[in-house]
Amino acid sequence: MKAAAKSATASAPSTSANLGSGFDVFGLALDAFADRVTVTRTGRRGVTVAADGGVPADARRNTAGIVALEAVRRYVKRGGLGVRVSKGVPVGFGLGSSAASAAAAAVAIDRLLGLGLSPSGLVELAGVGERASTSSVHYDNVAASVLGGFVIVRTGPLDIVKMPPPADMECSVAIPEVAVPAKKTAASRKLVPDKVGLKNATANVGNAAAMAAGFARRDTALIGSAMADSIAEPARRRTIPGLESVRGRAIRAGALGVAISGAGPSVIAVGNANTDMDAVGRAMKRGFASVGVRSRVVRCRPTPRGAARL
């Protein structure tokens, strides 16, 4: 008989949520960065966490730790779990850092415990970890990180539609060198209005529908044109210095669309095979520089590959 595994390791990609019009609904996996999580069986009840990258080692405040705590509660009758998190995704910059750790933890735990969770089951387990950064559960980033590609998330019950990204789609992500407050995502979510006018709601529904059609048709130009947002971005604009300069310069350099990446402060631009993405990246850096903010630009692609065991 094969001995039960004592540890399992998984990696999960960075993501960009919302893409403008799809607040809490759209997510896109990016090959820019990845987190790695190793989960080990321990003899002591509970969860221990070792982590780098400046994230908490307290299991109750660590995304992967919260996922492990939930797994122990649901599935582990004796002993506990040890979690080691190796951060590759920058923390607090709107690139799905907490989701990547949660996604990798869920896949590693599924492997270690032999749970055989469905894709939706893995997303649901990983979503529990988002409480670490937002005090609530939402699935846009974790669904993209678990499954890869472009995802549309519906809840009540949880339902995820995954689409492959266009083969010619490229991205430039500008990451500004600004101080990121603790609980930045939760604070950013509070800026989004609970009520919106009919005109803005209608505009976002139209753009969200066009975005879904763009991915269904593998049409990067349509995707880019649908990245306009009339609800969350106007409320968050003041938290990202130089946003409109970054956006305008990127569009003039040939970007097909620009949006805040997740809760920011990173900004994502998309293009296709006819777009000079290096020129777009340079334009985005100049946009931040115009307000005295240094930044780095990462050129990347959407990835159809989600979290996977190593």
Q: Point out the domain boundary residue: 116, 146, 164.
A: 164
Give the pLDDT confidence score for residue 137 in this predicted structure: 81
For residue 271, what are its two tokens? Answer: 């293009």
Within a domain: 226? yes
Q: How far apart are the C-alpha atoms of 187 and 190, rounded to whole Å?
A: 5
The pLDDT of residue 249 is 98
Over pLDDT 90: what percentage of the chain?
88
78, burial (CB in 10 Å: exposed 0-12, middle 13-18, buried 19+)? exposed
Q: Are 220 and 268 in contact (CB under 8 A)?
A: no
At residue 190 the predicted structure's pLDDT band, cuts being 50, 70 and 90, is confident
Q: What is the CATH number of the domain that holds 63?
A: 3.30.230.10
- Is 36 part of a structural domain of the chain? yes
Q: What angle do CA 296, 204, 96 make, to 5 degrees?
A: 35
Structural domains in the chain (count): 2
pTM: 0.94
* Last-in-domain residue among 144, 164, 184: 164
Asked if 35 and 154 sit in the same domain, the reply is yes
Torsion of CA 106, 112, 113, 114, to 10 degrees: 100
Per-residue three-class SS string for 119-135: HHHHHHHHHHCCHHHHC
> Average of pLDDT values for 17-32?
97
Same domain, 85 and 107: yes
Q: Does some domain include residue 254?
A: yes
Domain of residue 239: give its range. 170-300
Residues 121 and 29 in one domain: yes
CA proximity to 151, closest of 10, 297, 7, 26: 26
Residue 264 within any structural domain of the chain: yes
Task: Kindly tell me if the per-residue pLDDT of 110 is higher than 80.
Answer: yes
The mean pLDDT value for 270-280 works out to 98
Res. 133 pLDDT band, cuts 50 70 90 = low
pLDDT 10s digits, 72-82: 999 999 999 99
102 in a domain, yes or no? yes
**Residues 178 and 73 reside in one and the same domain:** no
| Termini Cα distance of the chain | 23
181 vs 130, residue with greater confidence: 130
Both 242 and 147 in one domain: the answer is: no
- CATH code for the domain of 253: 3.30.70.890
Whether 285 shows a pLDDT value over 80: the answer reads: yes
Q: What percent of the chain has pLDDT over 70?
A: 97
pLDDT value at residue 191: 87
Q: Could you tell me if 141 and 200 lie in one domain? A: no
Same domain flag for 195 and 122: no
According to the model, what pLDDT value does residue 93 have? Answer: 95
**Residue 16 shares a structural domain with residue 159:** yes
**Per the domain annotation, does 67 fall within a domain?**
yes
Answer yes or no: is 14 within a domain: yes
Please check whether residue 117 lies inside any domain of the structure: yes
179 and 142 within one domain: no
To which residue do tokens 């969860």 refer? 47
Based on the fold, state whether residues 177 and 286 are members of the same structural domain: yes
Q: Average pLDDT over the chain, rounded to whole? A: 94
Whether 1 has a pLDDT exceeding 60, the answer reads no
Q: What is the pLDDT of residue 4?
A: 59
The distance from CA 221 to its chain's CA centroid, rounded to whole angstroms, is 22
Question: What value does the mean pLDDT take over residues 274-289?
Answer: 98
Asked whether residue 103 falls in the same domain as residue 126, the answer is yes
Residue finishing a domain among 137, 164, 191: 164
Residues 181 and 295 in one domain: yes
Give the pLDDT of residue 175. 98
